[in-house]
Structure 1
Amino acid sequence: MQTFQIICCVLVGMLSLTGARREKPDTPSPDADHYDDGTHNEEYDHEVFLGGEKAAKEFEVLTEEESKRRLTVILKKVDTNSDTFIDKEELTNWVVGSLKKIDNYNAEERLKVQDRNGDGKLTWEEYNLHVFGYMPAKGHDTKSEYGKDVKRAERTFNVADKNQDGFLDSEEYLSFNNPRAVKEMEPIVIEQLLDNMDWNHDGAVALDEFLGDYFNVPGTNQAPAWVAEESELFRTQLDKNGDGYLRSSELFDWVRPDYAATAQFEADHLIKQADANKDGMLTEEEVLNKYRIFAGSRATHFGRHIRDKTFVHEEL
């Protein structure tokens, strides 16, 4: 899954908060995965509408008839007021649910890999054995970059362990695996952002710290175009109180995934593609006429048996 897919290693996710200075701020974009170098990514539409890569791949091997049948079932769930029309709000809400299910599913799969004894919980030792290959000794070096990485991971683990029993259950693991998406993890996310970006240790991120190190356009004294774009973003959207710094919740708001904004972009896109009469809503007929936008199918693969119970959203 390319959209909102949680990274293959939790440590990598935390390093993205705490690594070296960046060449460009990694400001989240609501439609970052929708286009690959300007080319429309059809798989993105399928995955965020159907609820993940697994469901999208199942549709790829269906006949057109079966694909449309399943879409019809889904559309009835999207149309929450049962008026036979799918408006932007209904479609946005559906995609928000899909995005969250994708994150949850990916975290569950990762927990299975890291949970060495298969008890459905993760210990700090299991995490270290999976990521580092061994359990760091107590009193290990915390000044090297490696040592700092271990310390940050342990701090995040302990904050995610809400009941402090030394284990992360499936719900707590969600917070550990993707702390940016969990409100309760805001303090640790802010702490790690400041550790990475607050060069003068004043407890806030100024514009120059936000931009980080960058190189001018080769052969010129001009900054790359993104510098002006990110500077404008900093001043007009991120620095909400206009004091010239990002502090506290402003930092967390910057990096947390905005499911609603992403879903709104996707809803606008899908309606634009399928709304034949341009009334701003979708009917079942309009969706089925453009079913490949929402799901797709490959009739040449007919014969492979797909069980409805494996569909990510619900049984169809």
Structure 2
Amino acid sequence: MTPRQLLWAASVLVVTAMAMAMAKPTQEKKDRVHHRNDLSDRHHDDAHGYEYDHEAFLGKEEAKTFDQLTPEESQDRLGKIVDRIDADKDGYITHSELRGWIKHRQQRYIDENVNKHWAEYDLDKDGRVSWEEYKNTTYGYYLDEEFEDMNDKHSYKAMLSRDERRFKMADRDGDLIATKEEFTAFLHPEEFEHMKNIVVTETVEDIDKNGDGLINLEEYIGDMFTAEEGEGEPDWVKTERQQFNEFRDLNKDGSLDAKEVSQWILPGEVDHSDTEAKHLIYETDKDKDEKLTKEEILTNWNMFVGSQATNYGEDLTKKHDEL
């Protein structure tokens, strides 16, 4: 099972405390846009816990939000969320209602993330973010002549070049000044059709260690798992080797080219909100009428608090009037 999470907004920028609280470049491995078919490195076995679901839809850090609440608080606040999901107020949560709610939560996450960074980068407050504003805020300190670590300086220059390529692709009119929509495409390229090629290109660059423009089996596995001395290979790694040979490497030449990588990380128009809604209903719908009551959901509250239905867990820590 792949330890990489398929997450809609995987390319979020992080703010560092160095110098003037300058943001780290987008290319750090943990922040890159990188899609996988599997959602977590946990074994997906609900009979032994919901760690897979929690990490898949929260990330490890966000999943810890649940621990801040008592079971009673969680159930109370989840019940209020259920009332909001029930759009027609008939007492049942349908697949359509749950899917719509999850999609709404996903979009709100993206909007909030973009707005946060927009405020950091729109330095002249003109309602646009220029390439110069982004470059100076993100890289100015690291590229300054007084920054003495030449290895790091070389690394940041490479990151700058890659960010510039992504910025220019997101900048549809070519004026090097991003509108809010263009900036969203820069931060979340996986959400935009015209940015899909950059997602593939960056994925290949991150995993391809020998620089041949291809991903061989060892590079593929090495991006997911590095064995400690004396450590055996887990079963999920063996499964991934089989996946590579049987399903990823379509032309059986021992490596993945850009087209094969695209098939791997962008496997068609997958509606993950739909998939998650079906999963939650399947696991929670005890009478098998293909819709959920509040009682059914609250009985399984420990599954829902870790899903996208609760906006990455954040809704459970907010008052009802904040939702």
TM-score range for the pair, normalised by the shorter chain length? 0.5 to 0.7
Q: Which of 22, 25, 28 is residue 36 of structure 2 equivalent to?
A: 28
Give the whole-Å Cα distance in 1 for the aligned partners of 2:187 and 2:85: 29
Q: TM-score, normalised by structure 2?
A: 0.64
Give the whole-Å Cα distance in 2 for the aligned partners of 1:76 and 1:18: 35
* Paired AA for residue 245 in structure 1: S
Q: Which of 103, 108, 121 is residue 110 of structure 2 equivalent to?
A: 103
* Paired AA for residue 86 in structure 2: L
How far off is 1:116 after superposition? Answer: 1.8
Give the whole-Å Cα distance in 2 for the aligned partners of 1:18 and 1:307: 31
* Paired AA for residue 102 in structure 1: Y
Asked whether the 8 Å contact 1:31–1:262 carries over to 2, the reply is no
- Of the structure 1 ranges 151-160 and 223-232, higher mean CA displacement relative to structure 2 is found in 223-232
Tell me how many residue pairs correspond in the alignment: 281
* Paired AA for residue 208 in structure 1: E
Asked whether the 8 Å contact 1:160–1:185 carries over to 2, the reply is yes
Q: Relative contact order (C-alpha < 8 Å, sep 6+): which is higher?
A: 1
Q: Which of 141, 151, 175 is residue 165 of structure 1 equivalent to?
A: 175
Q: 1:11 to 1:229 in 2, by over 3 A?
A: farther
Is 1:206 the counterpart of 2:206 in the alignment? no
Sequence identity, in percent? Answer: 25
Asked whether the 8 Å contact 2:24–2:138 carries over to 1, the reply is yes
Q: Which residue does 1:282 correspond to in 2?
A: 292
* Paired AA for residue 162 in structure 2: R
Q: Which residue does 1:23 correspond to in 2?
A: none
User: Tell me, which stretches of 5 or more residues in structure 1 are unaligned?
Assistant: 20-25, 298-304, 312-316
* Paired AA for residue 14 in structure 1: Q
* Paired AA for residue 109 in structure 1: K
Give the whole-Å Cα distance in 2 for the aligned partners of 1:169 and 1:148: 25
The RMSD of aligned alpha carbons is: 4.9
Q: TM-score, normalised by structure 1?
A: 0.65
How far off is 1:30 after superposition? Answer: 4.9
How far off is 1:123 after superposition? Answer: 1.4
Q: Which residue does 1:73 correspond to in 2?
A: 84
Give the whole-Å Cα distance in 2 for the aligned partners of 1:117 and 1:131: 15
What is the CA deviation profile of residues 173-193 of structure 1, one whole-angstrom value per residue up to 9, with x for unaligned ones? 111112234321122233333
Give the whole-Å Cα distance in 1 for the aligned partners of 2:298 and 2:233: 48
Residue correspondence of structure 1 range 1-316 to structure 2 within 5 A: 4=8, 6=10, 7-9=12-14, 12-16=25-29, 28=36, 30-32=38-40, 40=50, 68=79, 71-76=82-87, 85-88=92-95, 90-134=97-141, 144-199=154-209, 201-212=211-222, 216=227, 218-219=229-230, 223=233, 225-255=235-265, 260=270, 262-264=272-274, 266-272=276-282, 274-284=284-294, 286-287=296-297, 294=304, 308=321, 310-311=322-323
